[in-house]
A and B are shown apart, each in its own frame.
Chain A
Amino acid sequence: MVFEKDLNLDATELRLGLPGTSEESGKQASTTLRIGNKRALPDMNEDSSVAASKQCDQETAPPTKAQVVGWPPIRSYRKNSLQTKKTEAETSGMYVKVSMDGAPYLRKVDLKNYKGYPEVLKALEDMFKFKVGKYSEREGYNGSEFLPTYEDKDGDWMLVGDVPWEMFVNSCKRLRIMKGTEARGLGCVV
């Protein structure tokens, strides 16, 4: 084994695949799949108990855990559909354009990065260097000439903050920070 390393046989080895790709991960998967007898598995158990907390499990879980073919025994259809939902939720992102009246160019933010209104408003404030007023259901934003608005799926311009956060994230197509006189129509009390 050491001998092989010194000679760097890997570099000259003929293999299928694009240059620069390594087959290691593939190999690892195939060897761990051959869990033909129980003796392999108690090791797995030890690993997972050593890994202690549940958070650790996710990062340091031994490859065997996730790569046993056909385990846990869930129908592929169900697995695929849950995976799709996770992927959509986690990786697709929800980038929307943000414009500010008077600014020379637009920005984009990923709504999935934020857990609620205070966070996204703070991010917008930092991005465009302004401050929104205090929000109340009755009066909208009070105390600033800047007003955060968004265009929803129906094409209507709405005040940010009225609907539940998930609803907002699902229906927001773009954001616009309105300024000054135009803002008054949407319930800004200056």
Chain B
Amino acid sequence: MNYFPDEVLEHVFDSIASHKDRNSVSLVCKSWYRIERYSRRRVFIGNCYSISPERLIARFPGLKSLTLKGKPHFADFNLVPYDWGGFVYPWIKALAESGIGLEELRLKRMVVSDESLELLSKSFANFKSLVLVSCEGFSADGLAAVAANCRFLRELDLQENEVDDHRGHWLSCFPESCTSLVSLNFACLKGEVNLGALERLVSRSPNLKSLRLNRLVPLDTLQKLLMRAPQLVDLGIGSYVHDPSSEASNKLKHAIQRCKSIVSLSGFLEVAPRCMSAIYPICGNLTTLNLSYAPGLHGNKLTKLIQHCRKLQRLWILDRIGDKGLGVVASTCKELQELRVFPSDPFGAGNDAVTEEGLVLVSAGCPKLNSLLYFCQQMTNAALITVARNCPNFIRFRLCILDPVKPDPVTNQPLDEGFGAIVQSCKRLKRLSLSGLLTDQVFLYIGMYAEQLEMLSIAFAADSDKGMLYVLNGCKKLRKLEIRDCPFGNSALLEDVGKYETMRSLWMSSCEVTLGGCKTVAEKMPSLNVEIINESDQTEFNLDEGQKVDKMYLYRTLVGHRKDAPESVWIL
């Protein structure tokens, strides 16, 4: 394939954005591999332990943007010890020492120390963008270093991180010369920020498009910020409590109305429901609305707000909206593609929680729906079958019935048929989470029909190993499988160990696999790391092969056992 000079091929490759496609390109022949690796700017690493920073740097010397994910997904739900791993420091250190001109770093579920942030801020002169999602380990001091040292910073986006921010000085550390900010999101910070510094920062950031404030930014500051940044596209409101008839409220209304470009709205971390009418003027433009942190909004005030949002494509809401409220969504938001309904009270009776009725209404009213996360009291097979018929375009379908093994309350049957209908109808389904009472049958359906499935989450389901086998044999594109509290044992685990090399990872907790079974996998597959996580107080592992394993996490890797595992993690 030497018809074109390298520069031409490079130019062609530049227009290929998808990671998958670029990976495929690099496999065509040696010269394509070479050209591709020198021209690669963005790399995505779904498991930070699958490769080492040194090998990354060696292959892609022109790297500008790196995305890393650390802890397994179930770490979000406290199933993984806090010190399990996922440290970003070694990556930053290696990149800093290599001379790579890193400009963007996006991390998810990683441990980020202040030391790493400081090193990051001082090592890359052209650093532009830092996105941290569900990370921990840093404080406001680390943020201060980033603010102070990254002269061309465009993006500082902190999403749902646990941050120790008792000192609010970090915002004042942005120098006067910093005028390049495009996106600033500090909604997850619990501490106060210097409001004057915030106002001045926004004033000197003409390119600011996205601003998400935390709870302690009061209304009058919000009003001043909006006056200075009418070009905003994405706004996250912190505190939204005011008297609708006051002067402050009028000023706010005026400021909001000037923001004609806002298409994404979130926050309302503190809200007085009567004040929502000030927002109505911009609702008609909204494509994204996230009210999932505003439990104070419910009932009429909430539905009235939604009735103004005819262009909505993405809605994140709490289950206080109720089935009736979802009916309003169904009749108003005809462009809706993504819906997430979170529980406002995970352990309570959930008097105004949602049921299958709300979901059916939305499926009927919103034919473009393709992504769902739905926490509900109950679900029926009939409802799921109807939803499958109404919305054949689901790419992501995640259903969580709050009572983990609840059957169809009408027929008292398992929900096999309902989920079966979903996988049969939704031919493009990539991600599926199951809940409710489920037998092996649902997995037969999944194995048969879910041809595009890449990620599957299972909890408290199945009757036997057959369930897991149906999935492993049938889902050819499966990349991530996470299972908890299912009766899957060694014979399912060991049936086809080669399969795990085609996947990113497998998580099994509170299942029937034993130490012996896990050891066998490790022995047969040196390209996998098989980790046993044991958080009990025993000082030594019970070495009996027949011992059931509490938590097992295995993943493919090119670099063997990691060296940073804590005592509670045993790599076989």
Please list the residues of chain A having a beta carbon within 8 angstroms of any beta carbon in chain B.
Answer: 34-38, 41-42, 44-45, 48, 54-55, 57-58, 61, 65-66, 68-79, 81-82, 85-86, 163-164, 166-167, 170
What chain A residues lie within 8 Å of B350 (beta carbons)?
54
Q: Is the CB of A73 within 8 A of B76?
A: yes
Q: Is the CB of B342 within 8 A of A74?
A: yes
Closest to A57 in B: B349
- In the complex, the number of residue pairs spanning A and B with C-beta atoms less than 8 Å apart equals 113
21 A-B pairs whose Cβ atoms sit less than 8 Å apart in the complex? A35-B460, A36-B485, A36-B548, A41-B404, A45-B403, A45-B405, A45-B406, A66-B347, A69-B78, A69-B79, A70-B74, A70-B77, A72-B375, A73-B76, A74-B346, A75-B134, A78-B160, A78-B293, A81-B293, A163-B243, A167-B242
What chain B residues lie within 8 Å of A61 (beta carbons)?
347
What chain B residues lie within 8 Å of A76 (beta carbons)?
76-78, 162
Q: Is the CB of A79 within 8 A of B346?
A: yes
Inter-chain CA distance A91–B485, complex, in Å, is 35
Inter-chain CA distance A38–B134, complex, in Å, is 31
Inter-chain CA distance A11–B282, complex, in Å, is 67
- Cβ of A164 to closest chain B Cβ, rounded Å: 5
Q: Is the CB of A77 within 8 A of B134?
A: yes
Closest to A75 in B: B76
What chain A residues lie within 8 Å of B177 (beta carbons)?
none
Q: Is the CB of B400 within 8 A of A166?
A: no
What chain A residues lie within 8 Å of B272 (beta carbons)?
164, 166-167, 170
- Cβ of B456 to closest chain A Cβ, rounded Å: 14
What chain A residues lie within 8 Å of B292 (beta carbons)?
78
Cross-chain contact of A77 among B188, B295, B404 (Cβ < 8 A): B188
Cross-chain contact of A170 among B241, B405, B461, B462 (Cβ < 8 A): B241
- Cβ of A172 to closest chain B Cβ, rounded Å: 13
Closest to B398 in A: A73
B15 at the interface (CB under 8 A from A): no
Besides A54-B349, A70-B484, A74-B342, 5 more A-B contacts (Cβ < 8 Å) are A42-B405, A70-B77, A72-B346, A78-B342, A164-B243
Q: A74-B343, A75-B76, A78-B160 are in contact. Are A164 and B274 (CB under 8 A)?
A: yes
B402 at the interface (CB under 8 A from A): yes
B351 at the interface (CB under 8 A from A): yes
Q: Is the CB of A41 within 8 A of B405?
A: yes
Hey, what's the 0/1 contact readout for B329-371 against A, CB within 8 Å counting as 1? 0000000000000111111111100000000000000000000
CB interface residues, B 222-246, toward A, < 8 Å: 241-245
Closest to B433 in A: A73
Closest 10 CB pairs of A and B: A70-B77, A77-B160, A54-B349, A41-B405, A57-B349, A75-B76, A66-B347, A70-B79, A58-B349, A36-B510
Inter-chain CA distance A82–B76, complex, in Å, is 15
What chain A residues lie within 8 Å of B343 (beta carbons)?
72, 74
Q: Is the CB of B162 within 8 A of A65?
A: no
What chain A residues lie within 8 Å of B447 (beta carbons)?
none
Closest to B109 in A: A75
What chain B residues lie within 8 Å of A66 (beta carbons)?
347
Inter-chain CA distance A173–B404, complex, in Å, is 45
Closest to A54 in B: B349
Inter-chain CA distance A37–B241, complex, in Å, is 48
Inter-chain CA distance A77–B76, complex, in Å, is 8
Closest to B510 in A: A36
B441 at the interface (CB under 8 A from A): no
- Cβ of B442 to closest chain A Cβ, rounded Å: 13
What chain A residues lie within 8 Å of B418 (beta carbons)?
none
